[in-house]
Chains A and B, each alone.
Chain A
Amino acid sequence: MTLVADRPGPGAARPYRFPQVVRRTVAGGQVVAAHLPGQNLAVALLLLDAGAGREPVGKEGLGGVLAKALEEGTSQRDATAYALAIEALGTELVTGLDWDTFQASVQVPVDRLGAAVALLAEAVRTPKLDPDDVRRVRDDEATALRMDWANPGPRADAALRADLFGVDNRWGRPMYGDPDSVAALDVEDVTVFHSEWFIRPGTLVVAGDLDRIDLDGLAAAAFAGTGGGPVDRGGAIDVPLRTGRRIILVDRPGSVQSTLRLGHPAPHRAHPDHVPIALAGTVLGGAFTSRLNHLIREVRGYTYGIRGDFASSRRFGRFAVSSGVQTAVTAPALVESIGEIARTQAGGVTEDELAVARSWRAGQLSVELQSPRAIAGALTTLVVHDLPDDYHARLRESLLAADVAQVSAAAATHLHPESLTLVVEGDAALIRDELVATGLGEVVDYAPAD
């Protein structure tokens, strides 16, 4: 054998660098920008306090319909002219929402950024919202959700969310709504939501070569004609844990896999244990090398992949495990997954595992934050969670400093294997008896609320 047997150690570490952050207040709005010298591509992203959390209960999916309606013509041009104008710059209008924010963005070669932001603002601030167009977009969105809900996953996600957070709450219903909630929206819902939330200035996030970008000019375009100030965003919500586990069975006849969604409520984003919680989640299920993926995929061969993590927004959070497993091994996959969660809660993590988890999470702050799009995402985190310019450098330090005792304590405190809701979406006729026989919890059939 001619290979070098000895594994090389690392060379001299380069200092960690997050791009220089620039913050400005212009025309009543905030600008947060990152300087990427030499980068040909630039991203601008308008961040509004108009996430799914702002939608009234019963109006789920409103933000998604409005997002699509923005492109159906503006005060200055019809839908086709708008599409041709913005795509001629090399970008589409990319919209997205999560619980905390609504985002609209453009990505273009840097010399076209000014023109692209002007068009972005035109759609967000002054959409035509013609009633016929809004109704058609709504119907299209309902159809699109129906298509999506024909896949395994969305129904299981909805069942888990409802069980964790309660369907009486907006956050107990699907973030993007469901086919029925969207179909029931009317034109006024959309126009009112726009006037309430889309003409406040918000924050313009920019990632690109700032030597070639006129930030004040971008801001003037993004914030023109806006008014109204920030609105109270509400505090953390106290979500009670279940006493005892239950299995919710979502029938999908003919399914060759069972879709698993296991979860329980967890802390919101600003919780002081955020870093140790994230590391505990990484050891348990957040990386390819995690306990869950190792056992369920690499040892047992039950699945193509399984992951578990803690996710959090400003007001609430959850721990969840998701996977698709071959139908015949649904019950053992469930039992063994819960076994790993319980083992992690009771016994904590090892130094070996934690070493991988913290280096990986710290390294990702260099490796995954390269493109303007990724940097814009990182700036968005600063804005939404009120974090300082040096947050990523500090996060890196906290990750590398976390020890076994802290992370094991976080696992002990924030994992609740006895309170898990276990959603199984699969061929009920084939798996029901086995699920009952596991004794993991009462088996109930999924009954979506009307």
Chain B
Amino acid sequence: MPESGYPWPISTTRLDNGLRVVVSADRTAPAVAVNLWYDVGSRHEPVGQTGFAHLFEHLMFEGSVNVAKTEHMKLVQGAGGSLNATTNPDRTNYFETVPAEQLELALWLEADRMGGLVPALTQETLDNQRDVVKNERRQRYENVPYGDAWLRLLPLLYPPGHPYHHATIGSMADLNAADLATFQAFHQTYYAPNNAVLTVVGDTSVDEVVALAEKYFGAIAPRPEIPPAPDGRTVPATGVPAVETVVTDVPAPRVYVAHRTYPFGTPGYDVVTVLATVLGSGRGSRLYQRLADGERLAQPDLVGAYGVDLAHAPAPLIATATARPGVTGERLAEGLAEVVDELATVPVTPTELDRAKALLTTAWWRQMSTVDGRADALGRYATQFGDPATVAERLPAWLAVTAEQIAEVAAEVLAADDRVTLTYRPEEQP
């Protein structure tokens, strides 16, 4: 077993304006990944402004002082690169992977939208991207069966006012109300060099990246006070199960069981990660063996469990199953709850534990097999834990988890009286 989950060099430099620059050179392939984590996500959104962090992410592709509208995408793709961005409750990340000789272009583009977005932001752009985002909401959440499960689970897991109470996509009403001044202020507040981590991985050197970062980002002014998101680390247990049933146009009953666990990055969450794999990854998992294979309550392709890796509050663990024909939602929910309950009472065997660790090991190296996967991981660890080198600790921490720890954690955070159960039922009940 490896001592380290990150056997490549890591260097961190902080520019005078507070921008942290993380470099990990690897000359294996002539490509370089550029990744920016901004420490702002939907957890920062006040009531009435849900969806703004994500809509803002769209605006970042629409031009800045030296980059004309539509030019950003064209320049990266015209350089042979791949690019995208994502927003989640915790943070917003922007990334491109380009042929190594195009590194400077990528850094110039990122600096221009960090330091010069606001003057280029227009009402027309906002209106257009608002429509795009509303279509994204329709496509991903409204027009597909079970598509709104995540939107329903969050308010059941987190109380009003909690930073994870609402989903990142936001509400249509809030998106409709979004005005230009709010977005200008959003950029000025959060898109500051001292609120970001720039990571570069691949065919380059520390000296080259630091010099280029200084050249392009060095003159962007820091922002003295960046308002923190509300503190969500403590979520009092209600002692009352939260149960919601949705009767709608779905092809079969489906159940989600969800719990708040620990924040990503804590020892408790490492245990949850292994526990989730024991519970719901692969045909050897407990859910598959018990519900899909054993009692044949669940469709084999649609059972699973996973943790959602959020770092600023107890992160959710979600287990789900979809009923085979003839099985009711109630019966399935009972079966699912039973398997989750047993994590505290039926000890995880060495075979189960080794299986889970082997799957997690492969998943880890899969992320590390590309320069973009590595860059995103380093950006995460630098942003959330203050030191990118701590990335190396995650895999060994998973591999050190014991069966006793799993039982303890299950007893502590998977109790039935603090459980969220969301059931979808077809209009015509089978």
Contact = CB atoms under 8 A, between A and B. Distances in A.
Interface of A: 1-5, 7-17, 37-41, 68, 71, 79-80, 83-84, 87-92, 107-109, 140, 143-144, 146-147, 150-152, 254-257, 287-289, 294, 297-299, 301-304, 324-326, 355-356, 359-360, 362-364, 366-368, 370-373
15 contacts: A10-B99, A17-B29, A40-B2, A40-B365, A87-B359, A88-B355, A91-B359, A92-B283, A140-B324, A147-B302, A256-B143, A298-B128, A324-B139, A366-B29, A367-B81
Given A90-B362, A324-B138, 6 more contacts: A8-B105, A10-B105, A11-B104, A355-B78, A367-B82, A372-B369
Contacts of B210: none
B222 interface: no
B283 A83 contact: yes
Nearest to A355: B78
Contacts of A152: 143-144
Contacts of B65: 1, 3, 5
Contacts of A108: 362
B135 interface: yes
Interface string B107-129: 01001100110000000000111
B75 interface: yes
A14 B29 CA distance: 9
Nearest to A150: B251
B30 A366 contact: yes
Interface in B50-86: 65-66, 70, 73-75, 77-82
Contacts of B143: 152, 255-257, 324
Contacts of A299: 128
Contacts of B288: 83
A364 B31 contact: no
Contacts of B268: none
A355 B79 CA distance: 9
A356 B100 CA distance: 17
B289 interface: yes
Interface string B280-324: 001110001100010000011110000000000000000000101
Interface string B1-12: 010000000000
A40 B1 CA distance: 12
Q: What secondary structure prevails in chain B residues at the interface with A? A: helix
B365 A301 contact: no
Contacts of B77: 287-289, 356, 359-360
Contacts of A92: 282-283, 359
B253 to A, nearest CB: 12
A366 B357 CA distance: 32
Please indicate which of the listed interface residues B139, B216, B251 has the most CB atoms of chain A within 10 Å of its own CB.
Answer: B139
Q: Which 6 A-B pairs have the closest CB atoms?
A: A363-B80, A301-B131, A2-B219, A14-B30, A90-B358, A83-B283
B169 to A, nearest CB: 11
Contacts of B22: none
A4 B135 contact: no
A12 B78 contact: no
B138 A326 contact: yes
B325 interface: yes
Contact of A256 (B82, B108, B138): B138
A299 B362 CA distance: 43
A257 B29 contact: no
A11 B129 CA distance: 34
Contact of B362 (A8, A109, A143): A109
B142 A364 contact: no
Contacts of A257: 135, 138-139, 143
A326 B108 contact: no
Nearest to A303: B135
B104 A90 contact: no
A87 B283 contact: yes
Contact of B371 (A143, A146, A370): A370
A11 B101 contact: yes
A107 B128 CA distance: 42
A147 B135 contact: no
Contacts of B417: none
A7 B250 CA distance: 51
Nearest to A253: B249
Nearest to A137: B300
A140 B293 CA distance: 11
Given A304-B136, A370-B29, A90 B221 contact: no
Contacts of A325: 135
Nearest to B363: A90
A40 B5 CA distance: 11
Contacts of B30: 14-17, 366
A265 to B, nearest CB: 28
